A and B are shown apart, each in its own frame.
Chain A
Amino acid sequence: LDQTADLLPGTLDMLILKAVSLQPLHGYGVLLRVQQISNNAFKIHQGSLYPALYRLCHQGLLATSWGESENKRRAKFYTLTAAGRRRLRDDQAAWHRTSAAIAAALAATSDEV
């Protein structure tokens, strides 16, 4: 049974930044890492990954460099820039606030109303 869910809108960027923050990755590596750290909870459409990566690069949150991958293939690696690190921190904080608020809201019982 397929346990994966669609990503919430706007969360892909954050997950990419998180994945890259752990170590520099090439495009395919980003995909695998996101799936790994989310325990395969989300279904990421492979094609949608790249426009997101290019957008983040253009915004100056990611930097790129060409290097050699584990299987001796030439690959483009993405690294987090200082601006990207700040953005990830801000997004994480916002996410925690939102999720805590939603969790609190969902935990409400009829007694508290």
Chain B
Amino acid sequence: MWGRLISYFRAIVGRDRFEAEMDEELKSHIERYADDLERAGTLRPEALRKARLEFGQVSSIKEDCRQPVGLLLLERLMQDLRHAVRTLRVSTNWMAVAMLALAIGLTTATLSIFDALFLRPISFKAADRLAYVNVRSKDAAADSTWAMWRAWKESDIFEAFGGMLGWWTVVIRTDAGLMVRPSAEITAGTLELLGARPLRGRTFSEDDPRAGNVVIISEDLWTRGFGRENRAIGASIDVDGKPATIVGVLPRTFRFPSWDTEVWRPIAEGAIGPGTFNGPMVIVRFRSDVPSEETLRLATEIAHQVDRSTVGMEAVRDKLAGYTVPTNEERAMPAIAGGVSLVFLALCLNVAGLSLTRFNDRRRQFALSIALGAPRGRLVAQAFTQSALIGVIGATIGIVLAHQLIAGARAWLPQSFLETSLHPLLLDWDTLFVAIGLALVATVVSGLLPAVVATKLDAASSLRVVERGGTETRSARVLSRAFVVFELALACALLVPMLLLVRSFLNLTAIDRGLNPDSLSIVQVNFDSTRAADPSSRATAQTRATELVAALPGVERVSWSVGVPTMESGPHTGYVRRVNASGVYGGRQLAIGMSVASDFFDVYRIPLVAGRALRLEDDDRRVVIDERIAATFFLDASPIGQSLAFGEERLEVVGVVRSVQKQRPQYPPTLYWKYKPGDLPYATFTIRCTAACPSEAVIRHALLPIESSLRAGTVERLADRFDRDLVAPRVSATVAMLFAAVALVTAAGGLFSVLSYAVGRRRREFGIRAALGGSSRAIGRLVLRDALITTVLGLGLGSIAAWWLANMLTALQFGVTINDPRSWTAVVAILALATFAASWRPMRTAMRADPAVLLREE
């Protein structure tokens, strides 16, 4: 067995040597025989002639010698491949390769991304029974509290129970420098609940939060920081400026609560975290023997007993991971998935369609080969090799494309979006194989079709240039036109929303925000509920924080507030009413109330339009409103000195500032009142820097000395926040553009295939027309008319689909609507251009139909 394999291998690898040696051996055989004959008395030339004659035909003996070593098959395969490579010079074959690569690459990349972000379940133990439990009603949500957590835990209604304070970033100091990495603070038992098994060391115990500062690190951090050495367990690592002892290492496969969490810290009941969420997140495993509705009903009852304010709300289960699609964008999801499948289908159809363009030529070529005595099997094998080569090249480029697209998505999608999934964004091989399989079937079947048809027909009828009828059969015509109309409709249906989304994006980038976001960083902070429980100690912590941050290089000013001006909603959202001189309330307007320090407008560089900014001596009733509120209530008079009501409170307007444009125009306007230091257990400060602001790590590091009373939550540059606001529109616009472009190319390719085929079939007709004196222009018009009818039909159907699709995507549009005439004009122009481009070559072919040539061919 091995001997034979080696023999095959030798023969294939050392093929040239094999041939040379065979030549030499056979030649020397003949010469030796001739020598013997010469010795026996025959003259040399006669001896050689006789020797050759008796030896037999050298080429056929060589064939026989090659056969046992498998070289014959190889020879044929090589021949077919050479033939196939030669046929690649035909441009339509390259188009087929491109279509295939696009189909495979685009579909695999899109579905892989969808799968990783939205579809794939998390890989924890009994994952379907794991969930977060929250208490809320349709329009209100209860704060989670440790009291509720304890009551639920003790009730024993859940199979397993854990808690987490949420996740945020910490500053880790290693030899490589400062790193800001995601961390999570969890209660003992949470890791067990999720089925995490440490690679080294242990998980957390109940004593850990009290015993000292301990952490569990990720395998990645273990590899980077400790070279995967066992000494890591028990070693110390600097987290947020404090040494912590490593007690365990979790494997790379364990990703929670985000896919890139690298540090886990233990918390005890009652702990508080940074950010505005003070309570624990409740993680549970539902019992397998009790329906989850029943468990939730019990949980709701307990919640009502513990906290009377939750009456009217219900305990609900929330996904542990995975992107929760906003409801207004939910309707776009099936549209996107359907769009991907349709584009894939269209691309595959096109690959088949492209081989149609040469159907007539190839059928004739096959028939000719058969007439010359080529075996049918060989012809079919040849056709197979040819389409398989197209398939393999297309698939290879497709894999590379898919890989690149996903790498691009990884680099380009915002971190906050990627973090919603616990899966890393990688190429999904299953999808890739399915896509390749389907695409290859389409290629091979369409490639084999002419060969099979030709080898079935008798040579005479195949060789004829055109059938007597001259034009396409009715059914073929209807089918092929329907196929192109479908593709054109698809292109139109994708082009319209694409243009709307691109214009939405451009509108969003062009908006004047009303403030200068460069060199501004925003830090959300939380005051400790025990060490900074009262306003005065919170105010002290705030002053200290201001000093620490202001001392950083490049920091110009620091201003405190509750919330930021770009907020879409806030802790104080309510109705504003105008109150006239006689105390009568007027119409209302939803607005966000923000408390800001007196230097806030300076730091943000929000221009004052009228009146003055807030002053230190102002009381709570003095407010500054933005232009939108002013325009709503005070069109008739100057707003300065006028009265407003916000909820029950009566307010006096002292100034008007420019409106800060939020991401959506429908978000409420803002009114500002004075910020009182230490009033609330949370606040925001904004840093104005001379140039670039200090990095997140530096700011956090600076705040570490007062960490016991104040903790930093999110730290973010305002420009980044604005950029992040633009991410979703940018993603939508780019994805739409990509698909619309592909759909357009597909439609143009489909039109080209069908027209080429039709022209091929009608050559006889065109020849006769030309012979009877028809001008070539008239013939060209015939082809163009065919193309235009198809396009108009596609455009008509596509418009309906576009209308429907655009209505599904209204949530993603900004500043444009489906009725926008400019987008429609652009669509019609683009489609007309594509139609003309696709018809160009078939039209030229038709116009060049020469009756003399046609006659000769028959």
**Residues of chain A at the chain B interface (Cβ within 8 Å):** 26-28, 31, 45-48, 50-51, 54-55, 57-60, 71, 73-76, 83
Distance between Cα atoms of A51 and B26 in the complex (Å) = 11
Q: A28-B28, A45-B56, A76-B25 are in contact. Are A60 and B4 (CB under 8 A)?
A: yes
- Which B residues are CB-close (under 8 A) to A26? 25, 28
Q: Are A50 and B21 in contact (CB under 8 A)?
A: no
Closest to B35 in A: A71
- Which A residues are CB-close (under 8 A) to B7? 57-58, 60
Tell me the smallest distance from the CB of A95 to a CB of chain B, in Å.
23
- Which A residues are CB-close (under 8 A) to B24? 74, 76
Tell me the smallest distance from the CB of B394 to a CB of chain A, in Å.
37
Q: Are A28 and B3 in contact (CB under 8 A)?
A: no
Q: Are A51 and B57 in contact (CB under 8 A)?
A: no
Q: Are A51 and B28 in contact (CB under 8 A)?
A: no
Q: Are B68 and A47 in contact (CB under 8 A)?
A: no
- A28-B29, A45-B56, A47-B60 are known; give 17 further A-B pairs, CB within 8 A: A26-B28, A27-B28, A27-B29, A28-B28, A47-B55, A48-B64, A50-B25, A50-B64, A51-B65, A51-B68, A54-B68, A54-B69, A55-B68, A74-B28, A76-B21, A76-B24, A83-B3
The answer to whether B226 has its CB under 8 Å from any CB of chain A is no
Q: Are B67 and A51 in contact (CB under 8 A)?
A: yes
- Which B residues are CB-close (under 8 A) to A76? 21, 24-25
Contact with A along B29-52 (1 / 0, CB 8 A): 100110100000000000000000
The answer to whether B54 has its CB under 8 Å from any CB of chain A is yes
Distance between Cα atoms of A68 and B842 in the complex (Å) = 67
The answer to whether B61 has its CB under 8 Å from any CB of chain A is yes
Most chain A CB within a 10 A radius of its CB, from B25, B55, B57? B25
Distance between Cα atoms of A75 and B7 in the complex (Å) = 20
Q: A54-B68, A76-B21 are in contact. Are A47 and B56 (CB under 8 A)?
A: yes
- Which A residues are CB-close (under 8 A) to B55? 46-47
Show 25 A/B contacts (Cβ-Cβ < 8 Å), sorted by A: A26-B25, A26-B28, A27-B25, A45-B56, A46-B33, A46-B54, A47-B57, A47-B61, A48-B64, A50-B29, A50-B61, A50-B65, A51-B64, A51-B68, A55-B68, A57-B7, A58-B4, A58-B7, A58-B69, A59-B3, A60-B4, A73-B28, A74-B24, A75-B25, A83-B3
Closest to A46 in B: B55
Q: Which of B609-656 contact A (CB under 8 A)?
A: none
- Which A residues are CB-close (under 8 A) to B25? 26-27, 50, 75-76
Q: Are B68 and A75 in contact (CB under 8 A)?
A: no
Distance between Cα atoms of A51 and B68 in the complex (Å) = 8
- Which A residues are CB-close (under 8 A) to B35? 71
Distance between Cα atoms of A27 and B69 in the complex (Å) = 18
Tell me the smallest distance from the CB of B35 to a CB of chain A, in Å.
8
Q: Are B69 and A60 in contact (CB under 8 A)?
A: no
**Residues of chain B at the chain A interface (Cβ within 8 Å):** 3-4, 7, 21, 24-26, 28-29, 32-33, 35, 54-57, 60-61, 64-65, 67-69
Q: Are A46 and B56 in contact (CB under 8 A)?
A: yes
Distance between Cα atoms of A48 and B555 in the complex (Å) = 95
The 6 closest A-B pairs by CB, nearest first: A47-B56, A60-B3, A51-B64, A55-B68, A54-B65, A28-B32
- Which B residues are CB-close (under 8 A) to A48? 64
Tell me the smallest distance from the CB of B65 to a CB of chain A, in Å.
4
Closest to A30 in B: B29
Q: Is chain B's binding surface mostly helix, strand, loop or mixed?
A: helix
Tell me the smallest distance from the CB of B422 to a CB of chain A, in Å.
56
Distance between Cα atoms of A48 and B68 in the complex (Å) = 13
Closest to B70 in A: A58
Distance between Cα atoms of A57 and B71 in the complex (Å) = 14
- Which A residues are CB-close (under 8 A) to B3? 59-60, 83
Choose from A28, A51, A55, A58 the contact partner of B61 (Cβ within 8 Å).
Answer: A51
Distance between Cα atoms of A45 and B24 in the complex (Å) = 19
Distance between Cα atoms of A60 and B4 in the complex (Å) = 7
Distance between Cα atoms of A46 and B28 in the complex (Å) = 13
- Which B residues are CB-close (under 8 A) to A51? 61, 64-65, 67-68
- Which B residues are CB-close (under 8 A) to A55? 68
Most chain B CB within a 10 A radius of its CB, from A27, A51, A58, A60? A58
Closest to B68 in A: A55
Distance between Cα atoms of A83 and B26 in the complex (Å) = 26
- Which A residues are CB-close (under 8 A) to B33? 28, 46
Distance between Cα atoms of A75 and B31 in the complex (Å) = 12
Tell me the smallest distance from the CB of B11 to a CB of chain A, in Å.
8
Closest to A61 in B: B3
Q: Are B56 and A58 in contact (CB under 8 A)?
A: no
Q: Are A50 and B28 in contact (CB under 8 A)?
A: no
Tell me the smallest distance from the CB of B848 to a CB of chain A, in Å.
54
Tell me the smallest distance from the CB of B34 to a CB of chain A, in Å.
11
Distance between Cα atoms of A88 and B4 in the complex (Å) = 19
Most chain A CB within a 10 A radius of its CB, from B21, B35, B55, B61? B61
Closest to A81 in B: B3
Closest to B67 in A: A51
Distance between Cα atoms of A51 and B54 in the complex (Å) = 16
Distance between Cα atoms of A75 and B67 in the complex (Å) = 23
Tell me the smallest distance from the CB of A4 to a CB of chain B, in Å.
13
Distance between Cα atoms of A57 and B61 in the complex (Å) = 16
Distance between Cα atoms of A73 and B7 in the complex (Å) = 26
Closest to B53 in A: A46
Distance between Cα atoms of A57 and B25 in the complex (Å) = 14
Distance between Cα atoms of A83 and B69 in the complex (Å) = 18
Distance between Cα atoms of A45 and B57 in the complex (Å) = 12
Closest to B57 in A: A47
Tell me the smallest distance from the CB of B197 to a CB of chain A, in Å.
52
- Which B residues are CB-close (under 8 A) to A27? 25, 28-29
Most chain A CB within a 10 A radius of its CB, from B3, B21, B60? B3
- Which A residues are CB-close (under 8 A) to B69? 54, 58
Q: A28-B32, A45-B56 are in contact. Are A50 and B26 (CB under 8 A)?
A: yes
Distance between Cα atoms of A76 and B22 in the complex (Å) = 10
- Which A residues are CB-close (under 8 A) to B28? 26-28, 73-75
Tell me the smallest distance from the CB of A69 to a CB of chain B, in Å.
8
Distance between Cα atoms of A73 and B60 in the complex (Å) = 25
- Which A residues are CB-close (under 8 A) to B21? 76
Tell me the smallest distance from the CB of B221 to a CB of chain A, in Å.
57
Closest to B7 in A: A58
Distance between Cα atoms of A61 and B35 in the complex (Å) = 30
Closest to A75 in B: B28
Distance between Cα atoms of A60 and B1 in the complex (Å) = 9
Tell me the smallest distance from the CB of A26 to a CB of chain B, in Å.
8
Tell me the smallest distance from the CB of B705 to a CB of chain A, in Å.
82
Q: A51-B61, A60-B4, A60-B7 are in contact. Are A46 and B29 (CB under 8 A)?
A: yes
- Which B residues are CB-close (under 8 A) to A31? 29
Distance between Cα atoms of A109 and B54 in the complex (Å) = 44
- Which B residues are CB-close (under 8 A) to A60? 3-4, 7
Distance between Cα atoms of A83 and B1 in the complex (Å) = 12
Distance between Cα atoms of A60 and B8 in the complex (Å) = 12
Distance between Cα atoms of A76 and B21 in the complex (Å) = 8
Distance between Cα atoms of A7 and B821 in the complex (Å) = 91
Closest to B64 in A: A51
- Which A residues are CB-close (under 8 A) to B56? 45-47
- Which B residues are CB-close (under 8 A) to A71? 35
Tell me the smallest distance from the CB of A43 to a CB of chain B, in Å.
11
Distance between Cα atoms of A73 and B61 in the complex (Å) = 23
Tell me the smallest distance from the CB of B47 to a CB of chain A, in Å.
14
- Which A residues are CB-close (under 8 A) to B57? 47
Distance between Cα atoms of A75 and B56 in the complex (Å) = 20
Tell me the smallest distance from the CB of B10 to a CB of chain A, in Å.
10
Tell me the smallest distance from the CB of A28 to a CB of chain B, in Å.
4
Distance between Cα atoms of A46 and B33 in the complex (Å) = 10
Closest to B21 in A: A76
Distance between Cα atoms of A50 and B7 in the complex (Å) = 16
Closest to B61 in A: A47
Closest to B25 in A: A76
Tell me the smallest distance from the CB of A34 to a CB of chain B, in Å.
14
Tell me the smallest distance from the CB of B828 to a CB of chain A, in Å.
68
- Which B residues are CB-close (under 8 A) to A28? 28-29, 32-33
